Structure 1
Amino acid sequence: MKVAVLLQCFLLNDLKELEDKANWDTLWPRLAAVAAMMYNALLSLVLVRSRVAARSGVTMFLSASVGFGNMLKRKYDPTYIKYGFIAIERGGESLPQCVVSMKTLSNESMKSSLLRRHLETNHADKKDRDQTYFQRLGENVKRQHLDKTSQTYQKGAGIVKASYEVALLVAKNMKAHTIAESLVTTAAKILVKHVIGEEAVAKLESVSLSNNTVQRRIEEMSSGIADQGPNCSVSDFILKVGAFVRKLDLWIKNVERKRYGMFELLSTLESEPNDQFSQEIVHHLSLLKTELMYYFLDMTCCAYIAHPFSVDPADLPVGTGEQEELIDIQADETAKMKHKECSPMNFWVSMASSYPTLAGHAVPQLLIFHSTWECEQGFSAMMTIKSKSRNHLAAPGHDFLCAVSKVMPRIDQMVEKKQMQPSH
């Protein structure tokens, strides 16, 4: 801008001088000098702008490179668990972690071929294990995580689990679904506010207990326990009946020997019962034993249903595959941990894919109902659930099953599935 003004002033003055003197010889050197000044000024301007453009280009290139790099970050696929890998979050990226060695690989290793190679190279003895084996190991690893990501996972899982357990409580007490939000949540906030503090009340807002959520939770839990029997399985019942029969034999022998200490009322008598009275007691106990054996004639079941880790494989039938699988499961540490955490039914259902022969014999026997008294309880429960005030309840069967079933739903598994989804 300054160069243009100076040029304009210069030309006006010199043109005036040219008109007066018509001396081109003196004007031309001045014009050449001005032209040189303009050229240098323009060249400097071009260089400055080129540098700015170059810097901007580098910045844009770097930004684009970073963005492109982020786009290339690999994401975890749930199917990678079959290679023994779960995902952990570190530094904003997903990393594969081996559930066997606890080793964490780079994001670039998040490929099926590389994860499979790690399993076959470093854990060749476990390459033929099925997916449920690695899932059990993965659950144990998640419990051991102490980093920020794991705490976030546990917090989110706790919120979802609380929602399931409150929904189950509503179903067990055969109440309307709306009571969870209208009464339970309100009461919980009051208790927390006065016992823990106002700041803790906000945490309860994260627990979803709306009418639709409670209904959905009950339906999911009902579907999970629909194919299971009560916790007192036919195996447990057989053991209890067998124990009672052994007690009857013991009592008969004691009475024959004039020992009545197991009968509190008889032991308080001043005079000892005579022989005829003792014979009547023995006769009564014998009849009771006969009736039990008549109604429960077949008192046999799979020996390993309740205690698979204490049974001798040699006691099982030969050629069925049960002996070999029992040896395998007794050497499976994850199976031992699972057996301690859940009921026999839940245990054998979880082992169905790993040990199909054993589970194939155990599960059908566990599904047998040992008595029919639950029918009366069921009719009473349905009358309470399907009352006049709840005659619009669309699917009372889900509430009914959760209310009367003695089997606890697999809430932890449901929570884990919810954590893998973007919303719940």
Structure 2
Amino acid sequence: MTDEVKHNKRDIGTIAASVGVAEDAAHHGIAPPLWTADTSEWASPTDKPDYDYSRTVNPNRTLLVRALAALEGAQGGVVTNSGQSAALLALLLLKQGARVVAPHDCYGGTYRLLQGMEERGVLRAVFVDQGDSAALAAALADGADMLWLESPSNPLLRIVDIAACAKAGKQAGALVLADNTLPTPCRQKPLALGCDIVLHSTTKAINGHNDLFGGALLAGDPSIVERIEWWANAAGLSGSAHDAWQILRGLRTLPLRVDRQEKTARAVAAWLADHEQVLEVHYPGLSSHPDYELAARQQSGPGFMLSFRIKGGEAGTRKFVQALELVTLASSLGGFATLICTPASMTHRGMPPEAQAEAGILPDLLRVSIGLEGAEDLIADFERGFAAT
């Protein structure tokens, strides 16, 4: 076990700043180098080196896994070439015909992947409101092979009781997975709350610079880690050396960025909540949020994501986003720039209209990923949007 995993109770900033430092054996550089070789020399036909073939293992991926494992309190895992690759990798752990219980309001890419695999007869996907304990219990009553959690949800920032859900999932015989992309390990630790597996799209806040794709799948049980590693190698889902190197570089500032983004999100959400042209705001840091107390108990902060609806319907929403000058209309999240999107037509367009309606993803819903800009500047830009509606 690495020192990073042993000392995962260190300050999160210490972990982010220290993994891989001064480990350049060749030239003693402070920052780790980029190892791009696809294969390595063997001393003999039976002397397998630690790093033999880059699809299987690469030093840059090892360093990134060490950092993420330490941040999440995991025993290990793998880094993949996208968040969706990590999601696919999780499903490869399951047997043919497995039953997966997932949130009815999950990320659109997750919904599309589960639905597509169900259509091929690979698994059975059951989408349920996991905030409704009776509905979740009913969904688990017939057993489950995987319980897929997403809290806060994307895009409505709903909170579910991860510990209670994990307990119920395990009683039903399920592996319990939590997508921790939105809160990041800076704000939430699903493994400590009873989950078996934690998933990340490292494309988002962990990298934080809107310039690459990546994912990660981590576990607290070494036997699950071994299965994850086997399937990542067998299916060729591992991330590139360059992306792993760059994501680790972005991760160094993750705690600082999340602190700044969250502080700004709090200010913007409070301003929106008092605005006469706003119908509703979804942000776990507002006392009006229905899961405010649960969020405060389960997370160490409400994070940098929020969503809201304005008066004027879908037409007003379109005018609002087109009038913005500082905030960019785009579908990603977690980066240095504030992004806004209409999930129904962008991130969740793969969900059928009836599924969107059931999940509460309305055509006039706006989702915002707060970046590093000043709160006053973002508010001024949003006011520009309101003036256009």
What is the TM-score normalised by the length of structure 2?
A: 0.21
Structure number with greater Rg is: 1
Query: Counting helix residues as a fraction of each chain, which structure ranks higher?
Result: 1
Query: Counting strand residues as a fraction of each chain, which structure ranks higher?
Result: 2
